[in-house]
Chain A
Amino acid sequence: MNTGVDMTDKVRVPLARLAHARSGDKADWVDFGLFAWNAAGYALLEREVTAERVRAHFMPWLGRDLTGKVDAWLLPNLLAIKLVLRGALQGGGARNLRLDNLGKSMAGALLRMEIEVTPFELAQALATPRVGWWGEGAP
């Protein structure tokens, strides 16, 4: 079958297509929970979302302040990755001059990060039913 697309060529997709996320703050550290909708999506996050890549993603914005490594923990039981970014809030919420001094919107910036997947992997992750139960009006 010729689909016109080589299903093994990689495409770049933002994490927002495959995951949801929340950010929080403790002093000068921002932490993220990044969540796949299903196991197929989790396998892609596990492969693509490394601590080093997350650090590189935030470098153009926070490079001046980022201290130390980014921490990442895999939580397959929750289809999730926990990430911690040190030195992300200009020293902490009560001295941060940004409008978003607590980094509440920073998980949105994480969801802008692009990962490389094949069209087949993307299609599979998007087509697999979501694990969370939403009943009527599922997203």
Chain B
Amino acid sequence: MKSIRIGAGLGFYGDNWEPVVATLERGNVQFIASDHLAELTLAILQKDRQRDPALGYARDVVPMLLRLWPLMAERGVRFVCNAGGLNPNGAAQAVLAAFAAKGLTARVAVVTGDDVLPQLFDASKPADDLAHLFTGEPLAGVRERLVFGNAYLGAQPIVQALDAGADIVITGRVADAALFLGPLVHSLGWTLTGAMAQADLDRLAQGLTVGHLLECSGQGSGGNFGSQGAWQAIPDLAHMGYPMAEVWEDGTALITKAPGTGGRVNFDTVRQQLLYEVHNPHAYHAPDVVLDMGHITLHDEGYDRVRLTGARGQAPGDQLKVVAGYRDGYKAEVTWGFSWPDAWDKAQAAQATIRTQLLEKRIPHDELYIEYPGLNSAHGALAPLPDADALNQLNEVWTRMVLRTPVKAAADGFGGLFPWLALSGPAYTCGFHGLHNTSELLGIWPTLIPRAAVEAGVRVELLQGTAP
């Protein structure tokens, strides 16, 4: 039975591409799919685009491909990524320019049409359209403050690009797993558009599961293995192998990784990734299929070999998920340390001086958020603190103070409340940073949008790389 092998690229903007080299050299893959866009990444890219309209894409795709494309090209490996972010054409132009400078060539396809911000701005729509997916609140309350809004496209435009002969496919927002499902559908001849037969839907569900298991790079092969006392059994984190999969025509899949790499692919590490960022596991909604994980079997077949079967699919609905972002005020944060003796009490006295200044100077703010890195910043009130005497015997106490304010000038001035206290505040301050530390906060607006209105605007364009 025909099968193909596909490997994981990045799991987020800023991830390490060096582990992909082992996949290419020893993994015998035909595709690499690379997910550069976490839920918040478009917020970062939007700030880039504000500074320079030519930006707005995940810039790491350029050095990544300069390193990996020669290895891919000589093996005939094709590459799919969503590094286009808010500007897929910009990403493609940057890649082609960098390739031209190095004498590299590739047929690059660009997928656009995920940007639905104009539709979100359209205030003529009924008030309950585009309501917040979780809270049901109407969009009107934040519409004026929207800065991006993108629909999660499915695998179809990726299939179209690969069918047209693209070596490299660059998209904006697509469902993360669609980056993997696209090559599977293209290569294995699966029915995608309008799939209704149960066998077709189950194959798509298997393919979606493969994508979901591979889209977070090392997290699918033993990275971030949350446990007490078991993570130590994951070998050689310094040389982590990213997960890859062999997928057969009938949808059966084997999750594995390149020989000689670190990490571990087994029942435990794979199921941690399977449920990652999933809500209802019986109805995991993707643009191409709705996945039920309730009958999935993960079977260990030896070191770093897990057989995946049993994913069940249902036909998707007529809406696509959108994630939009809106301006939601500012924060400024300061971290300030005091040493033994009485470090805890001095931290409290220092906070009091800040609260007094905020009050007396009438600095507008919604919240002064305080936590103690090293004591409770990870688990808040669930982290047991020592008693007062023991707190004052600690070697040092660090306080992180964050101001939330709707007024940018208030955030900009926050750090300036601190420096004079080095001479006039409690003794033995052992570090301060955050004098200039304002950043804009964004609210995230997940919602649904009619599929047809988005898909009518999706474009796949094949660009020809310059010949050497």
Contacts of A93 in B (CB 8 A): 39-40, 444
The reply to whether B369 and A97 contact each other, CB–CB distance below 8 Å, is yes
Question: What is the interface size of chain B, counting residues whose CB is below 8 A from a CB of the partner?
Answer: 71
In whole angstroms, what is the CA distance A79 to B275 when docked? 12
Given A35-B271, A99-B371, A139-B233, A82:B281 Cβ within 8 A: yes
B16 at the A interface (CB under 8 A): no
A14-52 residues with Cβ-Cβ distance < 8 A to B are 16-17, 20-29, 31, 33, 35, 37
The reply to whether A133 and B379 contact each other, CB–CB distance below 8 Å, is no
Contacts of B40 in A (CB 8 A): 93-94, 102
| Per-residue A-contact encoding for B65-100, CB less than 8 Å = 1, 0 else | 000000000000000000000000000000000000
The reply to whether A95 and B328 contact each other, CB–CB distance below 8 Å, is yes
The reply to whether A77 and B272 contact each other, CB–CB distance below 8 Å, is no
Chain A nearest CB, measured from B139 CB (Å): 14
B112-157 residues with Cβ-Cβ distance < 8 A to A are 133-135
A119 at the B interface (CB under 8 A): no
Which residue in chain B gives the minimum CB-CB distance to A89?
B444
Which residue in chain A gives the minimum CB-CB distance to B232?
A139
Which residue in chain B gives the minimum CB-CB distance to A24?
B277
The reply to whether B134 and A33 contact each other, CB–CB distance below 8 Å, is no
In whole angstroms, what is the CA distance A71 to B274 when docked? 18
Contacts of B381 in A (CB 8 A): 60-61
B329 at the A interface (CB under 8 A): yes
Question: What is the interface size of chain A, counting residues whose CB is below 8 A from a CB of the partner?
Answer: 59
The reply to whether A95 and B233 contact each other, CB–CB distance below 8 Å, is no
Other-chain residue from B276, B280, B310, B444 in contact with A22 (beta carbon distance below 8 A): B276
Given A35-B271, A99-B373, A133-B266, A73:B280 Cβ within 8 A: yes
A109 at the B interface (CB under 8 A): yes
In whole angstroms, what is the CA distance A7 to B239 when docked? 46
In whole angstroms, what is the CA distance A20 to B267 when docked? 12
Given A24-B277, A27-B39, A95-B328, A108:B226 Cβ within 8 A: yes
The reply to whether B281 and A25 contact each other, CB–CB distance below 8 Å, is no
In whole angstroms, what is the CA distance A133 to B325 when docked? 42
Given A80-B275, A111-B228, A98:B379 Cβ within 8 A: no
Contacts of A31 in B (CB 8 A): 275-279
Which residue in chain A gives the minimum CB-CB distance to B229?
A139
The reply to whether B378 and A100 contact each other, CB–CB distance below 8 Å, is yes
Other-chain residue from A17, A61, A130 in contact with B380 (beta carbon distance below 8 A): A61
A97-119 residues with Cβ-Cβ distance < 8 A to B are 97-100, 102, 104-109, 111-112
The reply to whether A22 and B442 contact each other, CB–CB distance below 8 Å, is no
Q: List 6 A-B contacts (CB under 8 A).
A: A20-B230, A58-B382, A86-B134, A93-B39, A93-B444, A139-B229
